[in-house]
Structure 1
Amino acid sequence: MHIEFDAEVYRWQARQDSAWYFAEVPEELSADIREIAEPFARGFGAVRVQAQIGGSTWRTSIFPGSSGAYSLPLKRSVRDAESLEEGTTARIGLDVLDA
């Protein structure tokens, strides 16, 4: 399954010293992923994906949040390469690997 969407980059607010940044998969697309994905048996319902923003491609996992939407962690190397900062909107492509 391949999806594309625009999402705002946000910093994890649970810890003030956090350097973790994410983009949220829209709820409707998150529901589609839940229907076809086989989440890890252990891993908080994580689903493995290959992500792309601009010229950067990497493998990671998306994690379900309390809102029902998945969150995509954004590596520092990707944020730097694609000039992403908190509040930036990014065009994201995801290939679900756990389907």
Structure 2
Amino acid sequence: MQQYTFGAELWAYGGEASWVFVTVPADLSADIRARPRPPRPGFGSLKVGVRLGGTSWSTSIFPDAKSGCYVLPVKKAVRTAEGVDDGDTVTVELTVRE
């Protein structure tokens, strides 16, 4: 399993019920992408474990064509538990599980 720790800003993808994401830095995204793995469905998504502050959860990261990086969705329950939201910089511990 690959493990990464990085700091990044939370950003909202517009709309009323907008999703909030963190962009995985370009160098880490390139490293994740370079690792051989079997193809899978889901637009290139990868299963990951995440820790943000005292909160841990399982989710997926998704390739973002615009930035060329992976993006990580951060659900409202996590943002509420950690007292963070759009525009805040957070430290993320990411474990790629596949």
Which TM-score applies when normalising by structure 2?
0.91
Aligned residue for 2:27, secondary structure, equals helix
Relative to 1, partners in 2 of residues 1:22 and 1:40: Cα closer, same or farther, differing over 3 Å?
farther
The CA distance in 2 between the partners of 1:39 and 1:46, in whole Å, is 12
Identity %: 42
Over aligned residue pairs, what C-alpha RMSD do you find?
1.3
Relative to 1, partners in 2 of residues 1:52 and 1:37: Cα closer, same or farther, differing over 3 Å?
farther
The CA distance in 2 between the partners of 1:86 and 1:42, in whole Å, is 29
The total of aligned residue pairs comes to: 96
Instruction: Judge conservation of contact 1:40–1:46 (CA < 8 Å) in 2.
Output: no
Matches within 5 A, 1:63-78: 63-66=62-65, 67-78=67-78
Aligned-residue offset at 1:18: 3.1
Instruction: Judge conservation of contact 1:49–1:62 (CA < 8 Å) in 2.
Output: yes
Q: Deviations over 1:31-77 (max 9, x none)?
A: 00011263752100001100000000000000000121000000111
Structure 2 residues not aligned, in runs of 5+: none
Structure 1 residues not aligned, in runs of 5+: none
Matches within 5 A, 1:11-22: 11-13=12-14, 16-22=15-21
Say whether 1:26 aligns with 2:6: no
Say whether 1:89 aligns with 2:92: no
Which TM-score applies when normalising by structure 1?
0.91
